Chains A and B, each alone.
Chain A
Amino acid sequence: MSQFEPRKGGLRWFKSRSSSGVGSMPIVRKVVASNNTNAIGVGSPCKAGTDGCIVASAAGEVIDYVAVSVERYRGSDGLMRPGAFLPAATTYSGTTSQQNPFASVVVCIPVKDQIFELDVPTAAATQTAATDLIGNCVDVVVNSVSTVTGQSGATAGTVASFAASTAQLILREIPQYGASGAINDVTKTYWKGLFEVYEQGDGTTM
C-alpha cells in the first residue's frame, strides 16, 4: 500500500554528478533552429546541431540540453516575448544567432554530468524489480508540452522498456523520499527515478 505519486512533467535537475556543494546547476542560452517545429517546454530534452542551435529531441534521439525556460521568441503577433515554453512551429527569419533579434533563445542545462529526476509512468512489480532496472537504459516518452503551463509532459519509458542496450537515459538511482516506501513507491505509477543522459550528441547531427 502506498501513497499516489504527485506528478511533475519533464526532466528535473536533481544534482550534479561530479560536483556537490556548488549550488546552482549549469545554465547556458541556446538559439533555437529557425525552422523549429516542436514545442520546447520546461524540462524538455533538446539536441544540438552543428551550428550551435537546438531543437527538441524526439524519442530515441540524442539529448544535449534540458530546457529551463524561454528567454525570448517571436509570437504570432510579431512581438518578442519571454515564456515558460516555446510553442510549436515557432519559425523565424534571419540567422540562427543571438545577434538576430527575432531568433528564439532557450535557457537550458547542458546534460553532461548532470542527474535529472523523471517520472516512470508504469509500476514496477516490486522494489527489487525496480532496483534491478538501475544501470539499464530507457528512451524518453516525449509527450506534449502543456500549452497552459509550459511544462513538458516527458516521462521515462515504461518499466518494460528498460533494457541493457543503449537508449537516451540510464537509470542511476531511485531517490528515497521518506522513511518508508510509501512515498516514491515504485509499485505505483509515476514513481521517480534519477537518470543520467546516456546518448549525448557530439553536435554533428540535427
Chain B
Amino acid sequence: MITSHPLFRLMKKTIDNIYTDDLSKKQVCIGSGNLTTLKPMEDGYVENLEIAGTTYFPEKGLGEPIAEDTVTLGGSVRFYPKTYAKQVIIAEEALEDNKYKEAIQAANRLTASAYRTQDVDFASVLIQSANAAYPGGFDQLPLAYASHTLPSGQTYSNVLSTYSSPSMAALINAKAQLGIMLGPNGMPQPLMPKAIVCPLIQEDVWRTILDSEKVVGSNWNDINIVRRYKLQVKPVYHFDFASTSMWGLTTDAEDGWAAYEKRKIDKRNWVDNNVTALHYAVTYRLVYGWSNPRIWLQGNT
C-alpha cells in the first residue's frame, strides 16, 4: 500500500522535475506492423486442427480401379486464455497529501506495465522456441524443432540445417529450406520468408547484409541476391537480455501465431471504505502460442 509517509518529499512543492518510467503503450511484438496482432476470442477457448489431405497420383492401368486416398486428422491445439492482473493500493491520505500528479499515476503505470508484459510475453514464445519444456502447436513439440511430426507420422524441420550467424549464405540456405517445407500431407509446400526477427544488437548487421546493392565478390560486382528477398528486419529488444545470437525468419505460412485476446487491457478502480484506500487495477485475458510451426524458421539460438 502506498501511504503518505514515504511520499514525504511530495507533500510540498519543492521539486522541479520528476523522471519516471516510460508510460507509453509501445510494443514491438504485438500490434500492427509487428510480429502479430491480437485477435478477439468469441468463445471460452480456441481450437485449431491440422488435417492432411491426399498426396501424389499413381498410374492407373486399363481396367484397374482408381487408387483411393483419404484425409487424415492431425493434432489439434487448444488455447485457453489466462487472466493477468495487478493493482496498486493507495491510502486516501497519500492522495490528499501528494502535490505532484505525475508521481503516482497508478492507472497509467499499471497500463504501461500491462502493455510491456503482453509484449515481453509474446517475445517469450520465441525466446523459449527451442526449449523442450515449452511445447505447443499441432504436434505439441517446441516451436523450433528438427522433427516436427505430420499427421502421417512423417517429420519435417523448421530449424536451419546448420545454425548460423547473420550472413547472406544463412539467408540463402533458409530460403531454400523454406522452399521445400512439407505441408500437412507430407508434400512440399513452399513457403517464403517475410521478416528477420532478431535481437536489437543484430539489427544493423542484418541491414548491412540486406541493404547493399552489391556484395563482396569479384570486384564488388556480385549482386546482393538476398536484397531481392525484400525481407523486413524486426528487432525485438526483449531478446537481447536472453540471447544476442538468436534469430529466425517468419514465413507466409497460415495459422501460425496464436495471439487471442478475451479481455482487452481493462482499467478499474474501487474504494475500500473500511480502510479508506483506493485500489487501481488493470487486468487482461489472453493466450499466446502457435498452431502451425511453419510460421517460424529458427536460424540460431
Contacts and interface: CB of A to CB of B under 8 A. Distances in A.
Q: Classify the interface of chain B: helix, strand, loop or mixed.
A: mixed
Contact of B121 (A2, A25, A72, A183): A183
Given A1-B242, A69-B5, A83-B6, A178 B121 contact: yes
B71 interface: no
A71 B8 CA distance: 10
B128 A181 contact: yes
A3 interface: yes
A183 B117 contact: yes
B57 interface: no
B277 A24 contact: yes
A100 interface: no
Contact of B133 (A24, A71, A127, A183): A127
Contacts of A13: 1
Contacts of A69: 3-6
Given A23-B279, A183-B117, A107 B3 contact: yes
B220 interface: no
B4 A82 contact: yes
Given A1-B301, A179-B124, A182-B120, A42 B134 contact: no
Interface in B111-146: 117, 120-121, 123-125, 127-128, 131, 133-134
Contact of A24 (B1, B6, B287): B1
B200 interface: no
Nearest to A149: B6
B272 interface: yes
Contacts of B5: 69-72, 82-84, 107
A171 B289 CA distance: 30
B209 interface: no
Contact of A150 (B6, B120, B121): B6
Could you say which of A23, A68, A85, A107 has the most chain B C-beta atoms within 10 Å of its C-beta? A23
Nearest to B2: A69
Nearest to B94: A69
A68 B90 CA distance: 12
A27 B8 contact: no
Contacts of A42: 6
Interface residues of A, number: 30
The range of chain B's interface size is 20 to 34
A82 B6 CA distance: 7
A181 B133 contact: yes
A93 interface: no
A23 B246 CA distance: 43
B279 A1 contact: no
A181 B134 contact: yes
Contact of B124 (A24, A72, A182): A182
A107 to B, nearest CB: 6
Interface in B1-27: 1, 3-6, 8
B279 to A, nearest CB: 6
A1 B127 contact: yes
Contacts of B82: 179
Given A3-B241, A69-B4, 16 more contacts: A1-B131, A1-B301, A2-B127, A2-B241, A3-B124, A3-B127, A3-B242, A23-B270, A24-B277, A25-B89, A68-B3, A83-B6, A178-B124, A179-B288, A180-B125, A183-B124
